[in-house]
Each structure stands twice: as structure tokens, then as C-alpha cells.
Amino acid sequence: MKVLVAVKRVVDYNVKVRVKADNSGVDLANVKMSMNPFCEIAVEEAVRLKEKGVASEIVVVTVGPATAQEQLRTALALGADRAVLVESAEELTSLAVAKLLKAVVDKEQPQLVILGKQAIDSDNNQTGQMLAALSGYAQGTFASKVEIAGDKVNVTREVDGGLQTVSLNLPAIVTTDLRLNEPRYASLPNIMKAKKKPLETVTPDALGVSTASTNKTLKVEAPAARSAGIKVKSVAELVEKLKNEAKVI
């Protein structure tokens, strides 16, 4: 089966971002960018399905600026077969991205689409679900285990109280949670080979998708800072402070 994996270029998870002084957004100039951690897990899962002989081809897709090619090349080095870049310089909402991905799904006709559960920049947790709605497919979100069984896929999901398993008809959409797998690193020879793998670039216009949004970000602020705390010397002092100063126990 063909597996489509969507990845996103985001600010590296270790970077402590700063809000711009004019409150227009966060400052991403000269900040390290990487593949969203949940997307790495999605790529890894697709590669494992291929290694098991379940997947025959892995197509990796991203919606983003020209520089997002770096993240596609990373996915190719990890084992994806070819890549599609939907090039858009502006920042798009999850719905717009889902519509663009739907156009790619229509063209590629994959049996399984794997996305991360959320991007660590917008923290939206929407795109996979929206893509499932637009394509009419079943969805297995927050997956910690994925098993293909004939024309169905069994997905174990991380829910608030524990784990839930659902069976979905293929084609289906799966979004990854942290514990689905541990992504591998790309080896140097594979990074070199990835440079020769096909990478196609398309535009939203060519896909016939409007990326207009009903959401507008008015401003971005730094969160209220916590006032500095104190260090106590002993457990007894801690208990005394909690009882008499903070009055929380």
C-alpha cells in the first residue's frame, strides 16, 4: 500500500522562543528550525511499515516555505521514497493545510495517511482530524500502536483515562502520539542518497485550493512572568511556608 506522511518545519523544540517587541508574533529570525517531533514519529512509523512489507511506497509531503525542502530531504534520508512540497510563503491555518493535503491525497490515493498529532509551534492539534473530515476517511488520532489487518487498521489511542483501541476502514488517517515509536537518525550515506530522490514542488493555486482563513491573529504577547520564588533550607521550613505563607495545605 501507498503511505502518505505529512511533515512540518517548525522551530526546534529546544529553542526558547521570544515574542517580538511589536507583538506581531514570535521572533523566528536566525532560530534553529527542525522537523516537528510528532512528524518524525510519523515518518518512522511509515518506514517501519515499509520494512515489514506492508507499505510499498512512502510519499512525504509538506506545506510551507521553500526552506521546508530541508525537512523533506530529512524524511527522504530516513526512508521516504519521494517528496512533495506545496510551496506557500505565508503561514497557513490548519484548515488551509488540510485542504491542500486533501488535494494531494486525491492525486496520490494513499491507503494510509500519517500525520503528527500536533505541531509544537501552533499547538493546534487539528490538521489530521480536518483532513479526515474533508476526505471522508476514518481517523485514528493520538496513536500509540498501529496494526494493519487486511482492509482495516487497528489503532490504539492515548485517551485521557488510558488507552482505547479502534478499528478503521482503509483508507484512513492516523495521527501519532509520542509513544508510537522512537524515530531513528539519518545516516550520512542515506543523507547523500536522499539528495537524488525526487522532490516535486507545487503551489496552492496549481492545486486549485483557496487558503483564505476565518481566523486572524491580532497580537502575540509574552505570558505573564511568575514572580521570583525563594529557596527553603529544610523540609520543616517548606511545610511551614506552605501552611502559613501560601496557605495551600
Partner 1 sequence: MTILVIAEHENGAVAPATLNTVAAAAKIGGDVHVLVAGAGVGGVAEAAAKIAGVAKVLVADNAAYAHQLPENVAPLIAALAQEAGGAAYSHILAPATSNGKNILPRVAAQLDVDQISEIISVESADTFKRPIYAGNAIATVQSTAAIKVITVRATGFDAVAAEGGSAAIEAVAAAHDAGKSSFVGEELAKSDRPELTAAKIVVSGGRGMQNGDNFKHLYALADKLGAAVGASRAAVDAGFVPNDMQVGQTGKIVAPQLYIAVGISGAIQHLAGMKDSKVIVAINKDEEAPIFQVADYGLVADLFEAIPELEKLV
For the segment 143-182, give every residue that binds partner 1 (CB under 8 A): 144, 154, 157-169, 172, 177-179
Query: 144 vs 190, which CB is nearer to partner 1?
Result: 144
Task: Output the smallest distance, CB 192 to partner 1, in A.
Answer: 32
> How many C-beta neighbours within 10 Å does residue 244 have?
8
Q: How far apart are the first and last CA of the chain?
A: 58
Does residue 220 bind partner 1 (CB under 8 A)?
yes
Using CB under 8 A, which residues numbered 77 to 136 contact partner 1?
93-95, 98, 117-118, 120-134
Query: 14 vs 30, which CB is nearer to partner 1?
Result: 14
Query: 5 vs 130, which CB is nearer to partner 1?
Result: 130
Query: 131 vs 194, which CB is nearer to partner 1?
Result: 131
Identify the H or E element spanning 62.
strand 57-64
Task: Output the smallest distance, CB 94 to partner 1, in A.
Answer: 7
* Helix, strand, or coil (residue 124): coil
Class of residue 112 by CB neighbours under 10 A (exposed 0-12, middle 13-18, buried 19+) = buried
Class of residue 33 by CB neighbours under 10 A (exposed 0-12, middle 13-18, buried 19+) = middle
Does residue 33 bind partner 1 (CB under 8 A)?
no
Q: Which of 41, 42, 47, 19 is nearest to 31 (CA)?
A: 19
Does residue 226 bind partner 1 (CB under 8 A)?
yes
